[in-house]
Amino acid sequence: MASPSSRAWPRRITSLLSRAAIWFVAVSLIWVAIYRVVPPPITFTMIGNAIDGRPITKDWMSLSRIDPNMARAAIGGEDWNFCRHHGFDFAAIQQAMKENERGRRIRGGSTISQQTAKNAFLWQGGGFFRKGLETWFTALIELIWGKHRIMEVYLNIAETGIGTYGANAGALRYFRHDASHLSTSEAARIAAVLPQPKKREAVAPSGFTRRHGNKIAGRVGVVKRSAMDACLR
């Protein structure tokens, strides 16, 4: 027969896990609520670059001041259904899985919302644990922030070059002017860098980066004409 002390351990563990879960939910809700109005001061990606000795360059600009071409380029290059989904584009995920199974260029099905959640609250890399957290934070920002704030944070903390964060800092780095006025090609070049900012440059791009940038530039007009950025207006 089990002793009272041995029966108490499962209850203690359950109690501790319950308290931890409550604390996690409470802290994450407060964290997301704060970032709804306050620009994220630093991210884990920025900290990683700082540890590696790389200087950090960022220059926050509100979405209302960023040239609309930039958001359209992000939608055209990263997430066609940004204004239509609620954080997860299951059709895109399925398509990405099919392409990866066929041995084509490895791609993900992450939406801008998922990338924003990862960039703002988590670290880079994979793993089921981090993906689980990403799912949780994606649901929260969709619920608490809304699309306008999600795009604003995304365009200000996404890495647009080694140690460079945000569209405005990227525009200053590559084109010597801020992001309040970007041509279609300039916005497309910045968007083309986003998937691999440590390997791509927006100035005089070549190879895949140039082709991808040209493709995104062609999509900017489609996004505008089809009102795929309507949730941002």
Q: Is residue 221 part of a domain?
A: yes
CATH number of the domain that 198 lies in? Answer: 1.10.3810.10
**Full DSSP string of 100-114:** HHTT-S------HHH
C-alpha span between 96 and 92 (Å, rounded) = 6
The answer to whether residue 173 is domain-embedded is yes
In a domain, 174, yes or no: yes
Residue numbers of the domain that contains 117: 43-232
pLDDT of res. 157: 98
pLDDT score, position 197: 83
In 3D, which of 208, 73, 55, 52 has the Cα closest to residue 151? 73
What pLDDT is stored for residue 101 in this prediction? 63
Please check whether residue 227 is in contact with residue 218, taking contact to mean a CB–CB distance below 8 angstroms.
no
Report the distance separating Cα 53 and Cα 40, nearest Å: 21
> Shortest CA distance to 75 belongs to which of 161, 155, 172, 157?
155
Q: For the purposes of burial, counting CB atoms within 10 Å of the CB of 17, is it exposed (0-12), middle (13-18) or buried (19 or more)?
A: exposed
Question: Is 32 domain-assigned?
Answer: no
How many distinct structural domains can be found in the chain?
1
Structural domain includes residue 33: no
Instruction: Please check whether residue 26 lies inside any domain of the structure.
Output: no
User: What confidence score (pLDDT) does residue 228 get?
Assistant: 97
Angle formed by the axes of helices 68-78 and 207-225, to 10°?
110
pLDDT at 91: 81
On whether residue 77 sits in a domain, the answer given is yes
| CB distance 184 to 70 below 8 Å | no
Q: pLDDT means per 10 residues in the chain (233 residues)? A: 64 90 98 98 94 92 98 97 94 69 62 97 90 97 98 97 95 96 96 86 74 95 97 93
Look up the pTM and report it.
0.89
